[in-house]
């Protein structure tokens, strides 16, 4: 049976790294041809969970036209 660490360690992330990947593209409409839109922002968090497993959570924020959408991926 695995030992559960203290509450402060289980609530806090032991290892925290952020990577921002930017992909900038231009709109295809003539009216907004001069505007540059940020298409993808990816936040990647690496941490250790309460059972000492190394986990990665990835949050993607991307745009489709003027609508922002989000996606979350999780792996341990």
CA angle in degrees (0–180, nearest 5) for 1-46-43: 145
Q: Which position has the higher pLDDT, 32 or 59? A: 59
What's this model's pTM, rounded to 2 decimal places? 0.36
In-domain check, residue 75? no
In-domain check, residue 14? yes
In-domain check, residue 69? no
Q: For residue range 24-58, what is the model confidence (pLDDT) as tens digits?
A: 344 444 444 434 445 566 677 777 777 777 888 88
In-domain check, residue 1? no
| Mean model confidence pLDDT for the chain | 56
DSSP state of 65: T
In-domain check, residue 76? no
Query: What total number of domains does the chain contain?
Result: 1
In-domain check, residue 59? yes
Q: Which domain holds residue 18?
A: 7-64
In-domain check, residue 42? yes
Question: What pLDDT is stored for residue 31 in this prediction?
Answer: 44
Question: What pLDDT is stored for residue 15 in this prediction?
Answer: 35
Beta strands in the chain (DSSP E): 23-26, 36-48, 54-64, 67-75
The C-alpha atoms of residue 38 and residue 36 are separated, in whole angstroms, by: 7
């Amino acid at each position: 049976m695995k030992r559960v660490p203290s509450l402060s360690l289980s609530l806090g992330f032991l290892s925290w790294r952020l990577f921002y990947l930017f992909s900038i593209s231009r709109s295809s409409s003539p009216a907004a041809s001069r505007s540059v839109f940020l298409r993808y922002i990816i936040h990647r968090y690496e941490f250790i969970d309460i059972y000492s497993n190394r986990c990665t959570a990835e949050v993607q924020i991307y745009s489709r036209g003027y609508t922002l959408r989000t996606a979350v991926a999780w792996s341990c």
